[in-house]
Structure 1
């Protein structure tokens, strides 16, 4: 019997598998396809990502460094409002490569990581869970003390455990152009209903274009308008769901959710890599597979860490739907140097940000 079966080997699942294996637990991690494929997430991440990687990862995966963002209320030629730091704000990375690197770290720690194994069902008993998965040679059932659902926004583990869905699932679209662009600013367009569109320079790797909005908001049409505005040809289109708003509970009798399955994401950007891996660390630290009561400690720990950030992120997102004249006034008043951390909205009230704001008036 395994201590943990992990469904899903994205960043959150790989991180938990690694940390649990390092703690001496017997871990089986199952990924439905090839790790990192198909690509459905942006490669724009906080520079804190390197705190979770191994030796040589930055040199292998880094594509560009970003110092700020230009916000646009209209199209690409409508003028912009820059927000920036004097040091690197974020990084653009090989997103598929990151997933594979994190999975390799889990393997090196002793976790049994298997690709092309799709979790199809989970049955909870008082003393164990039975996880059914379909693999290349047929269907197998694995016994474990606990199951970790890290299998994305439409989590089968979550459904099998009868845990609630995220508050909302946005529809995201990505595509890439071959134009070389080593610019150090991303572009954010507040034109998509209740969310935004973006352009991210990836150095010699090209440019990433993306857009997200609630289902039914004619996402594909808005995305075509974005591409037409930049007058570029794109390829490698992909799409996926972006979960926003975690449910009141992400644990069951012998199961728990991490990452997108738990909607541990930033409501104002949809990004979840750092929140998911942070929560994975809380899970590995707090949960003892022989003591189901420790699931409550994980529930408390990740919420104590991230709940205020997520709540403030919801308020920031509301600004995307303000009337255009109000957006222009607000962006014009606030643009300039900032001291905000891209994963921590509470840093809006930090001394670092206050100093940056005061420096503008000198």
Structure 2
């Protein structure tokens, strides 16, 4: 019997599998398809990412360095409100390569990570969980002391364990244009209903265009209108759900959720790579598969670390729906040099940010 069966080998799942294996636990990780594919997430991340990856990975994954963002209330020709730093504030990376490197690190740590395994059922018993899966050879059942649901926004594990749903699921779309662009600013357009659209330069890899909005808001049509305003034709179009708002609990008797399955994401951007891996570390450090009582330790730890950031991020997101004149006036008033961390909105109240505002 395994200590943990991990369902999903995205950043959160592979990070947890690696850390749990390093703790000496017997870990099986199951990925539905091939690791990292299909792509359904932006590759714009904070520089903290490299702390979670083996040495030397940065050189292979880095595509561009970003020093700021230009906010627009309208389209590409509308007034730009820049926010910037003197240095690098974020990175653009090979998103598929990130998943592949994290999965490799999990395997190197001793986790048994299997691709082509689609989980079809999860059953909890008094002293174990039974995970059923379709495999390249047919089907199989795996018994473990606990199951970790790291299987994304529409989590099968979450439903099987009767864990509440996230507050909201947005619909996000991505497309790519191949013209090389090594500029240092991303563009954010507050034009999509209740969220935004973006343009991210990816160096030699081209440019990423994206948009997210609530389902039913003609998201693909909005995306096509957005890219038409930029005068580009995108390739490699992909889409996916973005969970916003963690449920009141992310654990059951012998199961727990991490990452997008737990809606451990930033409400103001939808990004969840760093939040998910942060929660994965808390899970690996605190959960003992032989003691279900430790699941509450995980609940407490990740919420203590991230809940304040998520609450403040929710307030920031509300500004996306303000009337355009108020948005424009607010952006004009606060644009300039910043001292904030893109994953930690509480840094809006930091001394570094206040000093940057004074310099501006």
Q: Structure 2 length as normaliser, TM-score?
A: 1.00
* Residue 67 (str. 1) matches residue 75 (str. 2): no
1:139-218 alignment, distance < 5 Å: 139-218=139-218
Number of matched residues? 360
CA deviation map 1:78-102 (0-9, x unaligned): 1200000111010000000000000
Q: Distance in 2 between matches of 1:264 and 1:85?
A: 27
Q: Distance in 1 between matches of 2:315 and 2:146?
A: 35
1:78-157 alignment, distance < 5 Å: 78-157=78-157
Aligned partner of 2:226 in structure 1 is 226
Q: Secondary structure at the match of 1:187?
A: strand
Unpaired stretches in structure 1, ≥5 consecutive residues: none
Q: Structure 1 length as normaliser, TM-score?
A: 0.99
Q: Secondary structure at the match of 1:276?
A: helix
Shift of 1:218: 1.1
Unpaired stretches in structure 2, ≥5 consecutive residues: none
CA deviation map 1:300-327 (0-9, x unaligned): 0000000000000000000000000000
Q: Secondary structure at the match of 1:116?
A: coil
Q: Secondary structure at the match of 2:222?
A: helix
Q: Distance in 2 between matches of 1:234 and 1:304?
A: 41
Q: Secondary structure at the match of 1:288?
A: coil
Aligned partner of 2:257 in structure 1 is 257
Q: Distance in 1 between matches of 2:240 and 2:143?
A: 31
Q: Secondary structure at the match of 1:69?
A: strand
CA RMSD of the aligned region, Å? 0.4
Shift of 1:195: 0.1
1:250-289 alignment, distance < 5 Å: 250-289=250-289
Aligned partner of 1:43 in structure 2 is 43
Shift of 1:359: 1.1
Q: Distance in 2 between matches of 1:37 and 1:65?
A: 24
Shift of 1:221: 1.5
1:315-354 alignment, distance < 5 Å: 315-354=315-354
